Amino acid sequence: MLAKCMLCDRIDELDDQSPLAKKLRNRPIHTYLCPTCHDRITERTIERWKTGKFRIHHKRRTKDESLI
Ligand SMILES: [Zn+2]
């Protein structure tokens, strides 16, 4: 199958039997990230974890719990 990277519009051909292709078939095609963009995002995510900016998400979850 062909998958288009949502960030750089690169089109990759994926092996239909690969776990990634199976996953994409169950989701919209635009969720595909090519390995280059995937690595870039993973690096950014790790950096964000280091700076502690992920606390925003945790705060929101705490707020939701307090509404119950
Ligand atoms: Zn890409």
For residue range 6-19, list pLDDT tens digits in order. 899 999 999 999 99
Residue 61 and residue 55: Cα distance in Å, rounded?
Answer: 10
CA of 25 to the centre of ligand 1 (A): 18
CA of 52 to the centre of ligand 1 (A): 26
Residue 63 lies in a domain: no
Q: How many domains does the chain have?
A: 1
Residue 45 lies in a domain: yes
**pTM across the whole model:** 0.56
CA of 33 to the centre of ligand 1 (A): 5
Summary count for the chain: helices (H), strands (E): 3, 2
With cut-offs at 50, 70 and 90, classify the pLDDT of residue 34: very high
- Is the separation of the CB atoms in 14 and 21 below 8 Å? yes
CA of 3 to the centre of ligand 1 (A): 10
Residue 39 lies in a domain: yes
Residue 56 has pLDDT above 80, yes or no: no
Residue 68 and residue 64: Cα distance in Å, rounded?
Answer: 7
Backbone angles phi, psi at 15, to 5 degrees: -65, 125
Q: Which helix (H) or strand (E) holds 11?
A: strand 11-13
With cut-offs at 50, 70 and 90, classify the pLDDT of residue 24: confident
Tell me what pLDDT residue 20 has. Answer: 86
With cut-offs at 50, 70 and 90, classify the pLDDT of residue 37: very high
